[in-house]
Structure 1
């Protein structure tokens, strides 16, 4: 049969002749547009069977006119995708074609399993490739794009095909093992379509279903970014990476499943690797960096903040911060101010607050030398973040020294027997703790029995889920002691604050608070009344112990991290009441009626002898090693 007769037969409904005619499309590039009217006829929505019809047709007969229309429509869809790839379809026709094409795509996608296989000319992989090609191409027209993006089901289709190509490392495999070696162009277009709409809840749900779950979506996004970074740089590729990071950031859900999957499955390394790699690209890549930094910033404020920060340090966070600062200073491209603001936020707020976590300080000890080499470069001295980096470096240096103190044989954790009639001070390893709640320590079973009868049975409870492990609390305790013992100015400030509080609040039990949420190493101590210090997990007996023999002070460490502000209470024991008695004696000599808000330095110099007596007390306690032991 000649082509004209086949075309007429195809126009009258013959799917065999339609398939034969459409096979000529690749050889008729100049006249391919002539096939559109024929395809237009076979894509009429009236030919779509209803669900009830489809159920009756596929269950009772092997052949039916409506099933032949389905077969012809799938042929037409395949041919139409080829015309789009050849750019043979006038853009102005998209608006007329879409109302016919979309219902057929949705029908075949929805009822794929219900349609007898012999009545679908496309295989499953080829079908999703055809559908995705049509969706992506028609979406590029400004008039049809809103219709495409609002149409249900299409994000599932495009996400499914995107995942299929990515899982095959960018190689497109069609039915019959026919492969295309490079599917990057299609991959990037698919991600651009998916990523721009992923913040919409319905579209996000479709994408998650299309790729097989949230964990798969996170892994695939990271794989796409890694593969894009490994490819030759280009402005188009830069845009795709921006879409990937923006999509990841838009769906960050705190400590939800997507964030957890993204950050636990190599996401931290991918993000920092991107920040480092993009500095070598000769294209406008600064638009990517703010998105990457915002993901890091938000992840560092989650419940797993210290874990993520540790991973980031291991992946090269500090060198990345310096290299990004240098690159943005040299290029001054879009995003320069955003990058600097985010870097300052990391250096001034988020990272300093994490330097109370043992794992973070331990990792930063190994990461700092490489960063210091980069920070010594002349270009870095011109960066806007230099003052923030210098303050951060100073703090890190002292925290590493505190870590060395904690890990040295000189650090010994002391506890006091909880029996108030005993209160023997000894090494933690020489005492036994309550087996039920793990809070109080005792030097012997008789002491435990006495304390149980007197008070502990009223407050003993099984330990709840705690945010801090024993080692972490021990490190924070050693950090407080390190600052107290090795920074005389800090200790002087603390004792003067205690002196002031005792003067302005006679007889009131107080807590000395070490604020680890602030950047400065000094001037971050406060003294508060016990009643005003809310500590959810503090043992109830601390209020009673604080008044027993004046041999105990209460210290608290406060900070931010793991998604919230926190406070940990530490009792501090001494073998005598000399510290409290000495401060009380100084207070007693001060004239009454002084301004309670007076500056500490002025307060200490009101009376000629106060400063001298204060220094004499500190010297005596130092000589006798009679300061409180934080436990």
Structure 2
């Protein structure tokens, strides 16, 4: 190609173009445009070391003739608005399909210079095309392979190749490659659910967090200062999805806490209020009910323990929220220790209501159908089958399958452990609340709510259930009513993200004896003189009743 570009830069044309006034405007523009293309082509060849060194002298004499001409007539030359060219090219049917195919080939070859060029092209989505609508995403999908997951794999692979080595320095090329992807994400993450979920499944959270961590170590160049906020927003967008805890684990594993601390110390008040506080005061504390999150937090917190929040955070309220989060995480990690020792989930109750024995769960057998009901003997299983489990077994099975898509077995098991731990810790106060409820609402069934959506446990006793809870846990409600005082309906609410941010589960409390329920009911009877029961004055009596109530478990 060198001889072609050499011929294009013929100095004879320079002499002819000096007579601008006598030439057709279109002819002048086409000739100058051809010259600029030759400049770009030669630059690429020289960068690729494809131009013979002996040709430099002859090339330079022609290049310099054109440079002096362009400089002399710079005020008379009208250059086309680049956005017009972008729209012209981008609106050509099929062009984005071809671009996506080329993109895939460059990714496969890990052609870094080529990916730099593709990044500039992708950035034009922001410059002139609709990044929130379906175009040009439809064409990009087609060129990538035909599905959202195909395009998502391109995006994540591209971002991983853009990220420098953890110990390396961020260069302009790294930032350019990341920028092209960020422009696509800024619209697509909020507008296309299928694309968003495909990106997360392909590992976008890890790739984004790793790049954001690289920005912490090597702050970006002045014309890329928008990247940290854009990346932080993209990372935390998954914290509100229906599987938020899964992606929080992913981000923590990749260094999110360091990113959070750095971001909190370098952001202005608007960014802190809109983006950082909701994460530090909401998403992270709310995720500490999940075993998978806590296991990763144990590792991630150890890496930032020596950081002084008062020094790193620019605002005192951020430092305070950080301290509260650490306190909550440390408390939950103690629960993890007890859970892993097996002490919090050692007991189960036989689900035959005529038996209801609370014993070591190793002595019980599961129903092979639903895998959620437990029995201490074959006799109890047959009895419960006749008394209602025959009709509800398939419902329990279906619900277990649906819940398994939200969280794994360990996470679900840990929720029961956490509830057992907090009930035991607050048992006395809960009993007093039940006493107050029975006094104020005689004849009503009490339902005890354990709300963990903020991370911390908030307890309330109510006489109402939401329609969703009634529909989902109708069988458990009926069993509590038939339990003869040996069952209480406890409801545990956790933050799972998504449009329905709270997930309420019925976790009935099983007691070996009905004595506690019977005695609380007797205490709650109003005095004969019509005055109200002084609940607090009953504390010592309630404490004695609890001590003799026998074992309980969820």
Global fold match (TM > 0.5): yes
Contact conserved, 1:272 with 1:316, CA < 8 A, in 2?
A: yes
Matching residue of 1:297: 236
Partner of 1:152: 93
Q: Judging changes above 3 Å, is the alpha-carbon distance between structure 1 residues 166 and 436 closer, same or farther for their aligned structure 2 residues?
A: closer
Q: For the Cα contact (< 8 Å) 2:431–2:542, is it kept in 1?
A: no
Q: Which runs of 5+ in 1 are unaligned?
A: 1-18, 42-75, 89-137, 172-181, 595-605
Once the two structures are superposed, residues 339-391 of structure 1 have per-residue CA deviations (whole angstroms, 9 ceiling, x without a partner) of 55312111222222222222111211221111222345733375652222122
TM-score normalized with structure 1 length: 0.69
Q: Work out which of the residue numbers 253, 257, 267 in structure 2 matches 1:318.
A: 257
> Does the CA contact (< 8 Å) of 1:416 and 1:425 recur in 2?
yes
Q: Can you list the C-alpha shifts for 1:497-531, whole angstroms capped at 9, x where unaligned? A: 32232122212222211111024x35x11223365
CA contact (8 A) 2:86 2:124 kept: no
The answer for the alignment partner of 2:154 in structure 1 is 220
Q: Among residues 397, 405, 418, which one is paired with 2:330 in the alignment? A: 397
Measured at CA, do residues 593 and 387 of structure 1 come closer, stay the same or move farther in structure 2, by a change above 3 Å? farther
Q: Which residue of 2 aligns with 1:540?
A: 475
CA distance in 2, matches of 1:158, 1:422: 69
| Aligned-partner SS, 1:410 | coil
Aligned equivalent of 1:192? 123
3-state SS, counterpart of residue 200 of structure 1: coil
Q: CA deviation at 1:206?
A: 1.0
TM-score normalised over the length of structure 2 = 0.78
Aligned equivalent of 1:550? 485
2:346–2:360 CA contact under 8 A, matched in 1: yes
Deviation at 1:615, TM superposition (A): 2.7
The aligned residue for residue 86 of structure 1 is: 39
In the alignment, the residues of structure 1 paired with residue 491 and residue 438 of structure 2 have an alpha-carbon distance, to the nearest angstrom, of 18
Map 1:70-85 onto structure 2 (within 5 A).
Answer: 83-85=36-38
Correspondence list, 1:296-375, <5 A: 296-326=235-265, 328-329=266-267, 337-339=270-272, 341-375=274-308
Residue aligned with 2:136, SS: helix
- Work out whether 1:517 is the aligned partner of 2:453: yes
Secondary structure of the structure 1 residue equivalent to 2:525: helix
Give the C-alpha shift of residue 406 in structure 1. 0.9
Any conservation in 2 of the 1:511–1:533 contact (CA below 8 Å)? no
Match of 1:416 in 2: 349
The structure-2 alpha-carbon separation of the partners of 1:254 and 1:141, relative to structure 1 and needing over 3 Å to count, comes to closer
- 8 Å contact kept, 1:162–1:191: no
Q: CA deviation at 1:557?
A: 0.7
Secondary structure of 2:219's aligned partner: coil
Q: How many Å apart are 1:195 and its aligned residue?
A: 5.1
Query: How far did residue 445 of structure 1 move?
Result: 1.5
What SS does the aligned partner of 1:403 have?
Answer: helix
2:209 is aligned, of 261, 272, 275, to: 272
Give me the whole-angstrom Cα distance separating, in 1, the residues matched to 2:480 and 2:203. Answer: 48
Q: Is the 8 A contact 2:516 2:549 kept in 1?
A: no
Q: 1:266–1:374: structure 2 CA closer, same or farther, 3 Å change rule?
A: farther
Is residue 546 of structure 2 the alignment partner of residue 621 of structure 1? yes
1:506 corresponding residue in structure 2 = 442
Q: After TM superposition, give the deviation of residue 581 of structure 1 in Å.
A: 2.4
Bigger relative CO (Cα 8 Å, ≥ 6 apart): 2
Bigger Rg over Cα = 1
Q: Is the CA contact 1:554–1:569 (under 8 Å) kept in the aligned structure 2?
A: yes
1:529 aligns with 2:463: yes
Alignment partner, residue 438 of structure 1? 371
